[in-house]
Structure 1
């Protein structure tokens, strides 16, 4: 089980805004495929950092992920959206930059965080529980923003437990 079982064409993903706020109130925003807003809430730090995220909602987009990219802006990431909640495992094959992986359940709670995944490594990185979403950020961002298991991601796709996949063909 993984997100990169093969190399399929990347159809493009919606570029979206993501706010990471640890210790800030949870915000809600209307669903918009062009600019969704999300907030990460934790207990240890009250700061807001903006990230531009791409949504990976189709099997092809999730399979490609961030492979073959030589750089990722510090304020960018990718949110993988799955149709169900299940144990997930990712690898870093053909991924050229270190990444933090945040595994998130259907309610928006971070199940686990894997920091600084090694570029090119085929070792599966397991979610450690059921995950409906995975957020990939540049390596070191989770630690820099004190993001940890138990933090909550509030996003229009997660609100009220009615997660759905937007903009999928």
Structure 2
């Protein structure tokens, strides 16, 4: 009898945990970026570079990066942004994004150690760097929407919460 009651309690706890997990999945996590487009939706675990020192270092000197990981560069105000690959050992896709989370440009497969400037455009506030070739592999393209707690909340886009 106790075993049956315990099983029901455990099943109820598991169901409640799944419901809570599902509701939290719609909230923004500081270390996660969600991308939505024609391909569907996917998440990347990210490190945040939101001060001058972190932005200057970026992903330099790393020999590898897990597939669904990346770095999100965050700027306080919209501006013209250009990046380079100085001391960066792995190829990267650079995804340039406006203040509402809309992808303005994707520069695929930036060449490791190349110091040529990669201009993303004007009025940008974020750059997401992921492994080289992943944007094409997953179908991420210009016009898709990113969600992260650092973006302006706007119902016309894809708000947190």
TM-score bracket for the superposition, by shorter chain length: 0.7 to 0.9
Deviates more, 1:56-65 or 1:152-161: 152-161
Q: Distance in 2 between matches of 1:37 and 1:118?
A: 25
Is this contact kept in 2: 1:76–1:137, CA < 8 A? Answer: yes
Residue 28 of structure 1: how far off its partner (Å): 4.5
* 1:96 corresponds to 2:93: no
* 1:61 corresponds to 2:60: no
Which of the numbers 35, 42, 62 marks the counterpart of 2:37? 42
Q: Residues 110-148 of structure 1: CA distance to partner in whole angstroms, max 9, x if unpaired?
A: 010000000010110001232100000000110011111
Unaligned runs of 5+ in 2: 1-24, 155-161
Residue 159 of structure 1: how far off its partner (Å): 4.1
Tell me: CA distance 1:50–1:42, structure 2 relative to 1, closer, same or farther (3 Å): closer
Q: Distance in 2 between matches of 1:82 and 1:128?
A: 14
More helix by share: 2
Q: For the aligned residues, what is the CA RMSD?
A: 1.7
1:1-169 equivalences in 2 (<5 Å)? 28-30=26-28, 33=30, 36-43=31-38, 45-46=39-40, 48-160=41-153
Is this contact kept in 2: 1:28–1:156, CA < 8 A? Answer: no
Is this contact kept in 1: 2:93–2:132, CA < 8 A? Answer: yes
Q: Which has the larger radius of gyration?
A: 2
Q: How many residues align?
A: 130
Structure 1 length normalisation: TM-score?
0.71
Structure 2 length normalisation: TM-score?
0.75
Q: Residues 11-60 of structure 1: CA distance to partner in whole angstroms, max 9, x if unpaired?
A: xxxxxxxxxxxxxxxx7425x55xx44321112x12x4442210011110
Unaligned runs of 5+ in 1: 1-26, 162-169
Q: Distance in 2 between matches of 1:60 and 1:78?
A: 14
